[in-house]
């Protein structure tokens, strides 16, 4: 297993964001920028390092990454972009996970309003050609929970490649194209001013974040590594912090 499989993804994302956006740092709460732990027992023990990265831009409330490097047992990059709630932009989500048994890759622009054809026309349609292009080499990863399906777009790239090499080439290439397409959408997005639409957007954002915080697949891993108190604070205070930020604002 490549020990820093997802570092190039993170480096690329940050340098692209710096080139294309008016980027500022997003505050990372104390204790979360860097955390070390140990995984496994005996000879199978591996040191695990979790680093967090946060940025923001005028249209994007929070751009954040959690990067977990655990040697041969674990490599994870969770990279998500949350727009400001006065834009109807989808979320950008990349979940890149490597375990001893293989890779789990999920790339999407997660829609606020999945069942709204106008919304899909505006935000999913431009991405479908990219999805179709990569779908040929990255076969569908199989079932995922029904309750989660409402949060994914028809351009959801979900695959389980076996080889590192596929991740380093094809997946990396797909990641770059999805990110570029997302930043194009951000560039052309105009703020929403209609009060009822703004309410719908905020409600949709909260629904998505609430679901993600509750069902975060990394919860078990982080709890084993760093304990449940740290984990819950990391999930609610940094990874999915909208509720917390709204409470402070009010």
Domain boundaries, the chain: 7-249
pLDDT given for residue 97 in this prediction:
93
Buried b (16+ CB within 10 A) or exposed e, 192-227: beeeeebebbeebbeebbeebbeebebbebbeebbe
C-alpha–C-alpha distance, residues 208 and 214, integer Å: 10
What tens digit of pLDDT does each residue of 210-245 get? 998 998 888 988 999 999 999 999 999 999 999 888
Domain 7-249 has CATH 3.40.50.720: no
Residue 94 pLDDT > 70: yes
For the chain, the first-to-last Cα distance in angstroms comes to 47
This prediction's pTM: 0.95
pLDDT band at 2 (very low <50, low <70, confident <90, very high): low
Buried b (16+ CB within 10 A) or exposed e, 91-118: bbbbbbbbeeeebbbbbbbbbbbbeeee
What tens digit of pLDDT does each residue of 16-46 get? 999 999 999 999 999 999 999 988 888 888 8
Contact assessment for residue 89 and residue 205, using Cβ atoms and an 8 Å cutoff: no
pLDDT given for residue 4 in this prediction:
85
Average pLDDT of span 123-145 = 90
- Cα within 13 Å of Cα(108), Cβ side: 21
Number of other residues whose CB lies within 10 A of the CB of residue 247: 8
Residue 174 pLDDT > 90: yes
User: Whole-number mean pLDDT of the chain?
Assistant: 92
């Amino acid at each position: 297993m490549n020990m820093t499989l997802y570092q190039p993804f993170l480096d690329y994302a940050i340098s692209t964001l710096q080139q294309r956006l008016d980027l500022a740092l997003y505050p990372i709460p104390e204790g979360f920028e860097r955390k070390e732990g140990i995984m496994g027992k005996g000879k199978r023990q591996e040191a695990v390092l979790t680093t967090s990265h946060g940025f923001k831009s005028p249209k994007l409330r929070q751009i954040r990454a959690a990067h977990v490097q655990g040697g041969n047992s674990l490599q994870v990059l969770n990279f998500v972009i949350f727009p400001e709630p006065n834009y109807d932009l989808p979320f950008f989500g990349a979940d890149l996970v490597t375990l001893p048994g293989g890779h789990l890759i999920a790339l999407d622009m997660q829609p606020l309003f999945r069942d709204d054809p106008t919304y899909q026309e505006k935000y999913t349609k431009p991405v479908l050609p990219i999805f179709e292009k990569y779908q040929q080499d990255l076969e569908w990863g199989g079932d995922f929970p029904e309750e989660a399906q409402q949060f994914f777009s028809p351009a959801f790239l979900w695959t389980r490649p076996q080889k590192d090499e596929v991740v380093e080439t094809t997946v990396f290439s797909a990641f770059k194209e999805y990110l570029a397409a997302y930043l194009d959408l951000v560039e052309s997005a105009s703020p929403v001013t209609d009060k009822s639409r703004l309410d719908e957007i905020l409600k949709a954002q909260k629904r998505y974040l609430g679901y993600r915080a509750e069902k975060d697949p990394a919860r078990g891993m982080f709890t084993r590594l760093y304990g449940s108190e740290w984990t819950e604070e990391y999930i609610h205070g940094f990874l999915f912090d909208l509720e917390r930020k709204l409470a402070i604002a009010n």
